Structure 1
Amino acid sequence: MQSLLLLATLTVLVGVTLTVPAQEKRVHHQRDLSDHAHDDSHGYQYDHEAFLGKEESKTFDQLTPEESKTRLGKIVDRIDTDKDGLVSHSELHYWIKHRQRRYIQENVDKHWKEYDQNKDGKIAWEEYKNTTYGYYLNDEFDDVDDKASYKTMLKRDERRFKAADRDGDLIATREEFTAFLHPEDYDHMKDIIVQETLEDIDTNGDGKINLHEYIGDMYTPGDGESEPDWVQTEKKHFLEFRDTNKDGLLDAGEVANWILPGEVDHADNEARHLIHETDTNKDEKISKKEILANWNMFVGSQATNYGEDLTRKHDEL
């Protein structure tokens, strides 16, 4: 009987773990177009996710070169809204922004079905709290090792939910729930993003971020491991650019300037990058021919890259 009770308890805990909010909701930095580094010398995964969206890029990863090119051609026709046979910067910029908005909406759709328990088209705080943390709030789980961390997460979620809930009724509309899941896209959520970032990185609890904490959030050296060059670069950025008042610490204002630089438009930068790399006749627009000639930058698949590697190795032999 005891073993059956233990099994049932573990089953519940596994279920609870799966309902904890996705990690994309724990914001530290301004959301980029991809989680991959933007370094074309090491591949085009950043460009793929920026151009296609994170989920759609996974689909293209499974396609043959012929299928990828065919689908890319159809996408180009959709991007070329004025039908002049050329993709301008503004058309490409709009497309990339559209793909990012679609990713956000699909992400909200996935969570919405899970949390709108009474199917009334809204999500009350109680619905969200009980679905996500309900079992951890029960006294019978007081001995769970990570209960304290879940209680901390609960407080943070409640604070963020209330900030997203503009009318203060503790019931989120779809727009309010989107702000809750993706606060980096809403001006009125910026203070929450800064506060959460400070809490996560400020390990000594003084309300500010020192150089050790700043680097420690990004890099932990292994035994006998030499420090990478980029760490020295980040230290220089901290001292010369991030710490604007030169007191050796980042306060809330300096953190905001670091993680929420309002002038950065990743979609605009990516549109300019793609045009610069593929505009062979330098007319500042790209034709379908130019795009398809560089299809691997836009939609190239992992399977294709693997095949090219095999061919290259064979030729080298």
Structure 2
Amino acid sequence: MMWPPSLLLLLLLLRRGTQAKPSPDAGPHGQGRVHHAAPLSEAPHDDAHGNFQYDHEAFLGREVAKEFDQLTPEESQARLGRIVDRMDRAGDGDGWVSLAELRSWIAHTQQRHIRDSVSAAWNTYDTDRDGRVGWEELRNATYGHYEPGEEFHDVEDAETYKKMLARDERRFRVADQDGDSMATREELTAFLHPEEFPHMRDIVIAETLEDLDRNKDGYVQVEEYIADLYTAEPGEEEPAWVQTEREQFRDFRDLNKDGKLDGSEVGHWVLPPAQDQPLVEANHLLHESDTDKDGRLSKAEILGNWNMFVGSQATNYGEDLTRHHDEL
């Protein structure tokens, strides 16, 4: 039978290869296990020297910030004015931009890459174009119409395949909050990006435990933790970084010092508490732009400090225009 393009098949092939030294916190199939919030911008936060690129990328998102860098100052301010109107309409529509509305906007722009990836997946999975993705659609698009023993002659590969299929179905059922076996766009986002949703936290922890807990005692022992990061070749001396990881396990992962990680400790490791970066940036922009110190921003206040929010050709940060966003 014809197989759809699938990461799964590549993973099964890669599993047979030798394992090179990964970076710390490397996860299954070369993906990191620890879900850190991405920085709002890689640019330095250097307002004191008139460099507002960090603020531009935080407020607009990196790709849209590039677009603004191609605009004249007049065009840039006009588009910023439309964004201000959108921020207020998305909130209470009182004619002012509150801290909460500003934070919500920044968080929204920073999630654009997730929305883009979900849109691409949606087009693949919603095969009957009914505006929902059923489990059967997702399964068939990802795994094909699998029958045990049909595609794999290798028993171990077939077993791995079946486990991955069962695991994806379990995750789908958790993401499907109304239990109708049909995913809305929000539910598909939770399936594809579970680390972004509090109600998916337990499934992320469970999947991590299953990957690492080789003796199936419900815990991650230090050797299981190391085995996820490093596989020694016969006669090979253990690298120094592996000992560093043992110390990390002992000093920072094993919070109750019992020599192993339980589910709570795994959660603290792979889904660590994160600073609310959009709120920090919203507070910063509010503080710098709120000229009358009433704790909110008028459109005039934002446009009066427009070059902190957005760039233009005049800022000398211009880069090639790479993308157009109709939403701005």
TM-score range, shorter chain: 0.5 to 0.7
Give the structure, 1 or 2, with the largest relative contact order (CA under 8 Å, sep 6 or more).
2
- Partners of 1:92 and 1:271 within 8 A in 2: yes
Offset at residue 272 of structure 1 (A): 2.9
The letter of the residue matching 2:283 is: R
Q: CA deviation at 1:126?
A: 1.8
User: Which range moved further: 152-161 or 263-272?
Assistant: 263-272
Cα drift, residue 129 of structure 1: 0.9
2:63 to 41, 50, 58: 58
Distance 1:288 1:175, change over 3 A: closer
RMSD across aligned C-alpha pairs, in angstroms? 5.0
Maintained 8 Å contact 2:177/2:187: yes
1:133: how far off? 0.8
1:126 and 1:212, CA in 2 relative to 1: closer, same or farther beyond 3 A? closer
Percent identity over the alignment is 40
Structure 2 residue runs of 5 or longer lacking an equivalent are 10-27, 231-238, 320-328
C-alpha separation between the residues in 2 aligned to 1:215 and 1:280? 53
Contact 1:52-1:299 within 8 A present in 2 as well: no
Q: How does 1:301-316 map to 2 (within 5 A)?
A: 305=317
Corresponding position of 1:32: 37
CA distance in 1, matches of 2:290, 2:226: 42
The one-character-per-residue Cα deviations of 1:104-155 (angstroms, maximum 9, x if unpaired) are 5554343223212223333222221111111665756425897665544323
Alignment partners' CA distance in 2, 1:176 and 1:306:
38
Shift of 1:253: 0.8
- Gap runs ≥5 in structure 1: 1-8, 219-224, 308-317
Match of 1:294 among 290, 294, 308: 308
- State the SS of the aligned residue for 1:16: coil
TM-score by length of 1: 0.61
TM-score normalised per structure 2 = 0.59
Indicate if the aligned counterparts of 1:29 and 1:259 stay in contact, CA closer than 8 A: yes
The amino acid that maps onto 1:257 is: H
Shift of the alpha carbon at 1:160?
A: 0.5
Aligned to 1:4: none
Q: Spell out the pairing of 1:71-220 with structure 2 (5 A cutoff).
A: 71-79=79-87, 82-84=94-96, 87-100=97-110, 104-134=114-144, 141-142=151-152, 150-166=161-177, 168-200=179-211, 207-208=219-220, 210=222, 213=225
Alignment of 1:257 onto 2:268 = yes
| 2:324 match | none
Deviations 1:27-70 (A, max 9, x none): 944562558668637x98876554334xxx32432542536565
| Offset of residue 251 of structure 1 | 1.5
More helix by share: 1
